[in-house]
């Protein structure tokens, strides 16, 4: 199609945002206009294309088949435009947008991030907290660290480390309760980190009790921490609230600094691990390549400590 036959860029931008976010209101907030303006732009686009792009209900909208066909190509095109503009726009200092979950940020990334700043003093970093991969697909973040199964082929993903869980407690609690063998867990308060329950058959306290030759019926007691609070479960163990079946990679800083110990095994492997993720094709961009290489080195060092 000749460029002169393209619909207005503003109407295409309004449609792309509304289609990606499944909401005229959310698209209006993203583009800093009113929902009415979004609706008007999309109606104009539908008239220009002579096809309906949305099914409109009282409180919701959904894409038609034509809308579903158009949205991915437009999203990719606008991301390419943004990347091209970013390449030529002068910036006083580059800022790499790094996205991860709260627990990974607080327990693993932040204690190590100063080393990245020392190695790359001219590259700024903006830390964002999120749990999904949509921020990478939409361009809202440059790179993400995720605890998950391997992401799909439309993203670049490098595995950083596998994960396992093991009993973790403060040295004071271990000493006070004289925890020397798995059978001693009968007198220990339990802390339940449920952050892995979004995955199939994650290892938990009942599983650990069974593997240790104990009655799993005794593993139901104690405090529970929801799936966004793995760091809080570890912190509760640091403060002597009980024994957590914690993620070893995530808790490694607390273990190295003596705030947590593992009095005994077994350690149970998990089916998911940690990945550094960005949009496919961008992994060679200099700032992204620098961060990816650095975080792979850091995670390898952590893995060596976990295996020691």
CA angle 31, 34, 37 (to 5 degrees): 90
Query: For the residues 72-80, what does the mean pLDDT come to?
Result: 88
Whole-structure pTM value? 0.68
Is pLDDT above 70 for 79? yes
Secondary structure of the chain in HEC code, one letter for each residue: CCHHHCCCHHHHHHHHHHHHHCCHHHHHHHHCCCHHHHHHHHHHHHHHHCCCCEEECCCCEEECHHHHHHHHHHHHHHHHHHHHHHHHCCCCCEEEEEEECHHHHHHHHHHHHHHHHHHCCCEEEEEEECCCCHHHHHCCCCEEEEEECCCCCCEEEEEEEEEEEEEEECHHHHHHHCCCCHHHHHHCCEEEECHHHHCCCCCCHHHHHHHCCCCHHHHCCCEEECCCCHHHHHHHHHCCCCEEEEECCCCHHHHHCCCCECCCCCCEEEEEEEEEEEECCCCCCHHHHHHHHHHHHHHHHHHHHHHC
For residue range 119-158, list pLDDT tens digits in order. Answer: 988 888 999 887 666 677 777 889 999 998 888 778 899 9
pLDDT at 193 over 90: yes
pLDDT one-digit tens code per residue, 213-261: 999 998 999 999 988 889 999 999 999 999 999 999 999 999 999 999 9
What is the separation of C-alpha 11 from the centre of its chain, rounded to a whole number of angstroms? Answer: 32
Question: For residue 180, which phi and psi values (nearest 5 degrees)?
Answer: -120, -25
Over residues 263-297, the pLDDT tens digits come to 999 999 999 999 999 998 899 999 999 999 999 99
Mean pLDDT of 44-49: 92
Q: What is the mean pLDDT of the chain?
A: 89
- Is the per-residue pLDDT at 1 higher than 50? no
Position 4 pLDDT exceeds 70: no
Taking CA atoms, 171 is separated from 70, 211, 270, 306, in Å, by: 59, 24, 25, 18
> What's the confidence (pLDDT) of residue 87?
75
């Amino acid at each position: 199609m000749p460029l002169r036959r393209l619909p207005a860029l503003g109407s295409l931008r309004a449609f792309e945002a509304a289609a990606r976010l499944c909401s005229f209101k959310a698209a209006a907030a993203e583009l800093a206009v009113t929902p009415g303006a979004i609706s008007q732009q999309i109606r104009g686009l539908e008239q220009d294309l002579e096809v309906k792009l949305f099914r409109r209900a009282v409180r919701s909208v959904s894409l038609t088949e034509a809308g579903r066909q158009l949205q991915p190509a437009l999203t990719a095109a606008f991301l390419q435009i943004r990347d091209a503009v970013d390449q030529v726009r002068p910036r006083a200092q580059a800022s790499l947008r790094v996205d991860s979950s709260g627990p990974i940020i607080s327990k693993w990334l932040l204690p190590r991030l100063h080393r990245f700043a020392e190695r790359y003093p001219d590259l700024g970093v903006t830390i964002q907290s999120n749990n999904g991969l949509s921020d990478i697909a939409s361009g809202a973040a440059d790179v993400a660290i995720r605890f998950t199964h391997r992401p799909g082929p439309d993203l670049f993903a490098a595995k950083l480390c596998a994960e396992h869980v093991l009993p973790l407690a403060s040295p004071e609690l271990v000493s006070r309760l004289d925890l020397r063998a798995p059978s001693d867990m009968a007198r220990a308060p339990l802390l339940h980190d449920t952050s892995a329950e979004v995955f199939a058959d994650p290892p938990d306290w009942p599983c650990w009790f069974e593997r240790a030759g104990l009655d799993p019926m005794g593993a139901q007691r104690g405090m529970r921490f929801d799936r966004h609070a793995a760091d809080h479960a570890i912190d509760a163990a640091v403060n002597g609230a009980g024994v957590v079946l914690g993620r070893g990679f995530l808790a490694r800083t607390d273990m190295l600094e003596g705030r947590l110990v593992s009095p005994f095994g077994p350690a149970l492997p998990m089916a998911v691990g940690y990945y550094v993720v960005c949009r496919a094709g961008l992994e060679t961009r200099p700032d992204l390549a620098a961060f990816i290489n650095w975080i792979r080195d850091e995670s390898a060092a952590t893995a060596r400590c976990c295996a020691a």
